[in-house]
Amino acid sequence: MAAQSIPSNSGSKASRWTQPISISALLMLVPFLVMPVQAQAQTSISGQSCTNTTGYDANYDYFKTKIVVDDAALFSVQYKNNYKVVTNTYSLVNQSFVLTQCGTPVPDASLFPNNTVFTYVPASNVASISTTGIAYIEMLGARSTIKAIDTESLVTSPCGQYGLEHGEIQGLEDTNMTLRAQQLSSIDLIFNNYDSDPASANRTVITSEVSDPGPLNRAEWLEFYSTFFNLEEAAQNLTASINNNYNCFKNAVASKATKPVIAWATYTAPSTYNNNTPSWAFSNAPYKMILSADAGATFYNGTTNMTFTTAAAFAAEALNVDVLIDETYTGADINAFYTNYNLTASSPHKFIQNKAVFREDGLVNKNDGRDWFAGAVVMDDALLQDLIRAVHPDALPDNVPYNWLRNIAKNEPEQILSSANCTTPDSNAATPDRAIQCSTMKVGTSSASSKTVAGTLTAVLGFLAIALAF
Ligand SMILES: *[C@@H]1O[C@H](CO)[C@@H](O)[C@H](O)[C@H]1NC(C)=O
Ligand SMILES: *[C@@H]1O[C@H](CO)[C@@H](O)[C@H](O)[C@H]1NC(C)=O
Ligand SMILES: *[C@@H]1O[C@H](CO)[C@@H](O)[C@H](O)[C@H]1NC(C)=O
Ligand SMILES: *[C@@H]1O[C@H](CO)[C@@H](O)[C@H](O)[C@H]1NC(C)=O
Ligand SMILES: *[C@@H]1O[C@H](CO)[C@@H](O)[C@H](O)[C@H]1NC(C)=O
Ligand SMILES: *[C@@H]1O[C@H](CO)[C@@H](O)[C@H](O)[C@H]1NC(C)=O
Ligand SMILES: *[C@@H]1O[C@H](CO)[C@@H](O)[C@H](O)[C@H]1NC(C)=O
Ligand SMILES: *[C@@H]1O[C@H](CO)[C@@H](O)[C@H](O)[C@H]1NC(C)=O
Ligand SMILES: *[C@@H]1O[C@H](CO)[C@@H](O)[C@H](O)[C@H]1NC(C)=O
Ligand SMILES: CC(=O)N[C@H]1CO[C@H](CO)[C@@H](O)[C@@H]1O
């Protein structure tokens, strides 16, 4: 059984598991012995198809749009005329993928490290082991290539659920490994966050979007995924749009005089995994620090320790936290929160008095699968929008809807995603980003003085320019 993938890169701390997974499986990122994979029957996606073998021209550049990695820290892409070398440079992975334009010759395997995976592009028959990978592939408009999904009961993507219900996508078997191997044997390429299934290392792509230490880093993994589908142009357009929108939100709160204190916290119940010792901890994941700062907040992870063995010690450290994001997996309402942290509605903590306690389960499926591990990893502009709603709601239009971060202190409900929410059942349609368009947003739409943020910024910048000119 595999896990829903984990977006937290918690620095020195071990990742927080959200679904059962064998820790030894995580550690099995052993080098893979790999030989070039033979071409399987390829069908075209998005109007692309294999190169006509007889027409192969070694001097022709088969990849017109090339990725330039400028935000992500954990992958690289190198282009040759008829193949590209994509490398996951995360130290725990350190593996290259040689993507050859199908119908053209595969380069000599001896030129590459022996754990290199060879495949043909554009891929048209893939599986995603994590729900995170589905979100990336769908945003690129390549859902038609997804033939199998693991942890299918946790899929939040409405169109992913639609595909499963309509037999376009199969769920991978979790208990009968013979059957699972049979299912995977018909798949050309398997995206996984951790390791590979038996006998499929030479078809597995390990992705590390959840370990890349910044929100825009994570979004840029769209470009990593795109190389497998020759969808670089779409990926560049998407990341440019996410970055622009993200930076617009960031600018909209940059001049806020107050920077409310925000903390991301987890309660870990006693269990056999921790010697029956409960703990209460602040997160210091780099992407959360960056997101918090970009939302106009002051990131807080304690003054003495980050992890505490009594609720009282944690509570004492958290007294002046204005906004608390509770990352505990279970405990869906404010009363459960009070129980987990041994607090009450009359505790003096600012986040309680402010009614500012948020959870990451604002978008879930009917089985409590969390879109936090899927859409929220890639749609970083929408994620920043959610965080600004938690910290500086006045910077956003009135009643802007929430995505993942819901306020349990105000009893905001979980929003259930089902196949009925798939508004683009065409499997080549790109999943739209959940963010509002920041550049056109009207702040305080209920008042007569509403104005766009872009307009305000222009006015402020214009004023600064005049001031500086003197
Ligand atoms: C792969 O190469 C490494 C050294 O570069 C070597 O230690 C290892 O045995 C090789 N694996 C196989 C299966 O050849
Ligand atoms: C991939 O690996 C499996 C077993 O690990 C092997 O049976 C298969 O032949 C390999 N495929 C290629 C094309 O080398
Ligand atoms: C492949 O290319 C050759 C030479 O350019 C051409 O004669 C042939 O018709 C092409 N085949 C297809 C299926 O396009
Ligand atoms: C990554 O793998 C390459 C090729 O096997 C090797 O030369 C390099 O030292 C590795 N880098 C790290 C950081 O392990
Ligand atoms: C596992 O799947 C295989 C292949 O479909 C099947 O032959 C076998 O009976 C299954 N085993 C069990 C225990 O269901
Ligand atoms: C990318 O954006 C450019 C400029 O807006 C547009 O012309 C092009 O069609 C877009 N391409 C894709 C694949 O979205
Ligand atoms: C901080 O950690 C140290 C060592 O783990 C421990 O001795 C100390 O009591 C902790 N402080 C608090 C406030 O929990
Ligand atoms: C919970 O807090 C109360 C005081 O607010 C304290 O008396 C009690 O011992 C605490 N319980 C635990 C389990 O920490
Ligand atoms: C999902 O669809 C239902 C109707 O089927 C709708 O009520 C709900 O608002 C939608 N949820 C989201 C988050 O779009
Ligand atoms: C208690 C603790 O470890 N606090 C850390 C919070 O994060 C900053 C970096 O922003 C560290 O310097 C602190 O040590």
* SS (HEC) of 188-247: CEEEECCCCCCCCHHHEEECCHHHCCCHHHHHHHHHHHHHCCCCHHHHHHHHHHHHHHHH
**Distance from the CA of 336 to the center of ligand 7, in angstroms?**
26
Q: Which ligand has its closest atom nearest to the C-alpha of 344?
A: 8
In this prediction, residue 48 carries a pLDDT of 58
Structural domain total, the chain: 2
Please compute Rg for the chain using Cα positions: 23
**Tens of each residue's pLDDT in the chain, 470 residues:** 343 443 333 333 333 333 333 333 333 332 232 333 333 333 344 445 777 777 899 999 999 999 999 999 999 999 999 999 999 999 999 999 999 999 999 999 999 999 999 999 999 999 999 999 999 999 999 999 999 999 999 999 999 999 999 999 999 999 999 999 999 999 999 999 988 999 899 999 999 999 999 999 999 999 999 999 999 999 999 999 999 999 999 999 999 999 999 999 999 999 999 999 999 999 999 999 999 999 999 999 999 899 999 999 999 999 999 999 999 999 999 999 999 999 999 999 999 999 999 999 999 999 999 999 999 999 999 999 999 999 999 999 999 999 999 999 999 999 999 999 998 888 888 999 999 999 988 776 454 444 555 544 444 444 444 443 33
Strand partners, 204: 190
131 with 217, same domain: the answer is yes
Residue 117 within any structural domain of the chain: yes
Tell me which residue has tokens 């000599």. 108
What's the CATH number where 414 sits? 3.40.50.1980
Q: Which ligand has its closest atom nearest to the C-alpha of 362?
A: 9
In this prediction, residue 444 carries a pLDDT of 60
Locate 205 and state its tokens. 């792509």
* pTM greater than the 0.75 cutoff: yes
269 with 321, same domain: the answer is yes
Rounded Cα distance, 172 and 432, in Å: 26
The answer to whether the CB of 89 is under 6 A from ligand 4 is: no
In this prediction, residue 30 carries a pLDDT of 29
303 with 186, same domain: the answer is no
Strand partners, 205: 191
330 with 449, same domain: the answer is yes
164 with 25, same domain: the answer is yes
Are 292 and 17 in contact by the 8 Å Cβ rule? The answer is no
**Distance from the CA of 42 to the center of ligand 9, in angstroms?**
36
Residue 449 within any structural domain of the chain: yes
170 with 316, same domain: the answer is no
Written as one letter, the residue type at 191 is F
Domain that holds residue 250: 244-469
3-state secondary structure of 18: coil
Q: 3-state DSSP: the chain helix, strand, coil percent, rounded to 5?
A: 35, 15, 50
Q: Is the C-alpha dihedral spanning 334, 335, 337, 343 positive or negative?
A: positive
187 with 226, same domain: the answer is yes
**CA distances in angstroms from 233 to 41, 74, 140, 240, 252, listed in the order given:** 25, 20, 10, 11, 29
Output the ligand 2 site: residues, CB below 6 A: 35, 37-38, 199, 202
Taking every pair of Cα atoms in the chain, the longest distance, rounded to a whole number of angstroms, is: 77
Residue 299 within any structural domain of the chain: yes
Query: Do you know the residue count of the chain?
Result: 470
167 with 211, same domain: the answer is yes
211 with 268, same domain: the answer is no
User: Which helix or strand (DSSP H or E) is residue 83 part of?
Assistant: strand 83-88
User: Which helix or strand (DSSP H or E) is residue 79 part of?
Assistant: strand 75-79
Residue 12 within any structural domain of the chain: no
Residue 281 within any structural domain of the chain: yes
Strand partners, 359: 326, 406
In this prediction, residue 99 carries a pLDDT of 98
Ligand 9 atom index nearest CA of 415: 13
In this prediction, residue 428 carries a pLDDT of 87
| HSE-up of residue 235 (Cα within 13 Å, Cβ side) | 25
284 with 256, same domain: the answer is yes
The answer to whether the CB of 305 is under 6 A from ligand 10 is: yes
Which of 238, 265, 286 is a domain's end point? 238
212 with 70, same domain: the answer is yes
In this prediction, residue 239 carries a pLDDT of 98
Tell me which residue has tokens 């859409």. 375
Locate 266 and state its tokens. 């987890």
Rounded Cα distance, 363 and 164, in Å: 19
Locate 73 and state its tokens. 């820290």
Written as one letter, the residue type at 313 is A
249 with 106, same domain: the answer is no
Residue 8 within any structural domain of the chain: no
Q: Pick the residue whose CA is nearest to atom 3 on ligand 5.
A: 179
